[in-house]
A and B are shown apart, each in its own frame.
Chain A
Amino acid sequence: MSARYDRAITVFSPDGHLFQVEYAQEAVKKGSTAVGIRGKDIVVLGVEKKSVAKLQEERTVRKICVLDEHVCMAFAGEKLYRKSPECSVVSVNAHTFIHHTYLSPGLTADARIVINRARVECQSHRLTVEDPVTVEYITRYIATLKQRYTQSNGRRPFGISALIVGFDYDGTPRLYQTDPSGTYHAWKANAIGRSAKTVREFLEKNYTEEAIAGDNEAIKLAIKALLEVVQSGGKNIELAIIRRNQPLKILEASEIETLVAEIEKEKEEEAEKKKQKKSS
């Protein structure tokens, strides 16, 4: 006899909230920060790379994933195991979540499912329509998938928000963000995860036409944004870029170090200038 789920878990509260979706959004807020920037000829994704345990292979932790040659995404969400000193238990129906305040790379398992489905859809689209997906199309697909999981029996929402970047067939750069409720929006620059608000405020102040005038400038803006919230600087940042008509490139640690050094230098020069102005 097949087990049949006859009750939905995500249901409305008396005052109109979908608590499971909101809890999922809380889970997202605890994940590590990711930032996305849409330049003129480049799109940049940066994520906070948490330090791995001593015996863990670093390369198995990847938060920036390729969906197709011209589209990639980064996600934020919270991993759900490993007790830590501060622990709270939330029980919903038959499921028990253990929240912890320690940062860890996202609900990677949820993200894996979404990414797999998105990758298949990208190829399926190429097969039926003979054209690569537009970034909007694959974002819409992921968002629809997430929404279905907020409205069906026996399922909980996906606990991830995603930043999806890429170039359309006609060369337009795009950046989209989805959240666990299944909504999606286009952005010029955005951040998700821990301290997303701080990063977004930084971006709102500093995303100007000149700030994204060139590829290098856009990359530096992403690094600067992440440096606002990442401790211990460049070695905790993972950066990926897509240039028009080129595949995804993940920057080497050395390249990031160089860029961080440039940023530091520019900061010092700015401070010097200000000092001189004051004294004169």
Chain B
Amino acid sequence: MALLDVCGISDWLKEDGFNAKAASVDKVNHFSFAARTPEFAVPVGVDPAKFLKPLTDNEDGVNGVKLELEHGTTTLAFKFQHGVMVAVDSRASAGSYISSQTCKKVIEINPYLLGTMSGSAADCMYWERVLAKECRIYKLRNKERISVSAASKLLANMMVGYRGMGLSMGSMICGWDKKGPGLYYVDDNAVRLSANMFSTGSGNCYAYGVMDSGYRYDLSVPEAYDLAQRAVFHATHRDAYSGGTVNIYHMQEKGWIKVSHENVEELYHRFAAEKK
């Protein structure tokens, strides 16, 4: 009604009224999480994507202010004949300040699913915990564990909604399901890729170098542990934003195990001794 529109009340009324789109009667789909109607937690009155675009895309930014959303970390994962190896560092940095050397960058979603985190710590932790919740609900509803492809798809769909709004997350979802070992890379741009080897973060190029030179699909288990550890260590050695400890997980058919967590200092001395 016209009067209601003028008063601005008709917006509220629309929520109360029978709105076919909003009515939960019609929405039986369990894969639209967060809300029956897609809602995004964004500031009122601001379009986050429009606000952020000039700051990140243009060469000079806005009034000399340019934002670069880097993923300051090194994480890697690779598939081999005995499952999936996951290795991460543990440094959290805020600019040039090291805020933590003991940060947990692997989230244990369930005994058969792991997620790694790189990028903004807050974004990673939040969204991967939402993913963990969705995985638990899936298991309750369908009486079987969610597949790795489905879990990574859910995370990618979460990212799609916030595209361009400044989320920063580079994650690898690793697991073992009915189809065997699974490894997916999911990005804040909702990129979702499956391959045998990934490395994310500011130290990824160093890690790739080491991994590529030593990787074979038919590695033995101790060889794979060693390769994963070396790759992350060398990345922490050269990348300023990676360091702390190297945490290694091994995803096997009966679930993941935590292999080791060694401080990079000790690793440095160990590898240096080997050279002699």
Contact = CB atoms under 8 A, between A and B. Distances in A.
Interface of A: 1-5, 117, 121, 124-125, 128-131, 134, 137, 141, 144-145, 148-149, 152-155, 170
CB-based closest 10 A-B pairs: A129-B150, A130-B149, A152-B25, A128-B31, A2-B17, A148-B25, A4-B18, A144-B28, A145-B28, A4-B17
A121 B149 contact: no
A130 B17 contact: no
A131 B1 CA distance: 47
Given A130-B153, A155-B25, A5 B147 contact: no
A4 B22 CA distance: 14
Tell me what chain B mostly uses at the interface: helix, strand, loop, or mixed: loop
Contacts of B24: 148
A154 B153 CA distance: 37
22 contacts: A1-B1, A2-B17, A3-B18, A4-B18, A117-B28, A121-B28, A121-B29, A124-B31, A128-B153, A128-B154, A129-B149, A129-B153, A130-B150, A130-B153, A134-B142, A144-B28, A145-B28, A148-B26, A148-B28, A149-B25, A152-B23, A170-B178
B157 interface: yes
A44 to B, nearest CB: 26
B146 to A, nearest CB: 8
A169 to B, nearest CB: 8
Interface string B1-34: 1000000000000000111000111101101000
Interface of B: 1, 17-19, 23-26, 28-29, 31, 142, 146-147, 149-150, 153-154, 157, 178
Nearest to B154: A128
Given A129-B147, A137-B142, A2 B18 contact: yes
A141 B28 contact: yes
A227 B7 CA distance: 68
Contacts of A4: 17-18
A128 B155 CA distance: 10
A1 B153 CA distance: 40
Contacts of A148: 24-26, 28
B135 to A, nearest CB: 12
Contacts of B150: 128-131
A121 B28 CA distance: 9
Nearest to A144: B28
A3 B149 CA distance: 43
Nearest to B13: A2
A152 to B, nearest CB: 4
A66 B21 CA distance: 27
A144 B29 CA distance: 10
A141 B17 CA distance: 26
A128 B147 CA distance: 11
A1 B1 CA distance: 6
Contacts of B149: 129-131
A153 B18 CA distance: 9
B113 to A, nearest CB: 14
A141 B23 CA distance: 17
A125, A130, A144, most chain B CB atoms within 10 A:
A130
A129 B139 CA distance: 13
A162 B155 CA distance: 34
A4 B25 CA distance: 14
A4 B34 CA distance: 26
A128 B1 CA distance: 40
Nearest to B147: A131
Given A141-B28, A149-B25, A170-B178, 19 more contacts: A2-B18, A2-B19, A3-B18, A5-B18, A117-B28, A121-B28, A124-B29, A125-B31, A128-B150, A128-B153, A129-B31, A129-B150, A129-B153, A131-B147, A131-B149, A137-B142, A144-B28, A148-B25, A155-B25
B45 to A, nearest CB: 26
Nearest to B19: A2
Nearest to A120: B29
Contacts of A152: 23, 25
B184 to A, nearest CB: 10
A124 B25 CA distance: 18
Nearest to B151: A129
Nearest to A148: B25
Contacts of B25: 148-149, 152, 155
A129 B152 CA distance: 9
Given A121-B29, A148-B25, A154 B147 contact: no
A152 B31 CA distance: 22
A155 B24 CA distance: 13
Contacts of A128: 31, 150, 153-154, 157
B134 to A, nearest CB: 11
A153 to B, nearest CB: 7
A141 B27 CA distance: 11
A46 B31 CA distance: 34
A145 B142 CA distance: 17
Contacts of B17: 2, 4
A121 B1 CA distance: 36
